[in-house]
Amino acid sequence: MNARDEVLTRLRAARPSGAVTVSRDYDPPAPDGTDLVELLTDRLLDYRATVRRCDAAALPTVLASLLTDASVVVVPPGLPSAWLGGTDVAQLTDDGGLTPGQLDLPGAVVVTGCAIACARTGTIILDAGPDQGRRVLTLVPDRHICVVRVDQVVYGIPEALSRLTDPTRPLTMISGPSATSDIELNRVEGVHGPRHLTIILLLP
CA distances from residue 43 to 29, 37, 124, 186 in whole angstroms, order as listed? 18, 10, 11, 21
pTM: 0.86
End-to-end C-alpha distance for the chain, whole angstroms: 69
Residue among 116, 50, 127, 113 at smallest CA distance from 84:
113
DSSP category for residue 103? H
What's residue 150's pLDDT?
97
- Phi/psi region, residue 107 (left: phi>0; alpha: psi -120 to 50; beta: rest), is left
What's residue 112's pLDDT?
98
Residues 105-142 have pLDDT tens digits of 999 999 999 999 999 999 999 999 999 999 999 999 99
Low-confidence stretches of the chain (pLDDT < 50) are none
CA dist., res. 110 & res. 91, Å (int): 10
DSSP category for residue 153? E
Domain 34-180+187-202: state its class: alpha beta
What's residue 184's pLDDT?
84
What's residue 22's pLDDT?
80
Residue boundaries of the structural domains of the chain: 34-180+187-202
Number of separate helices (H) and strands (E) present in the chain: 5, 12
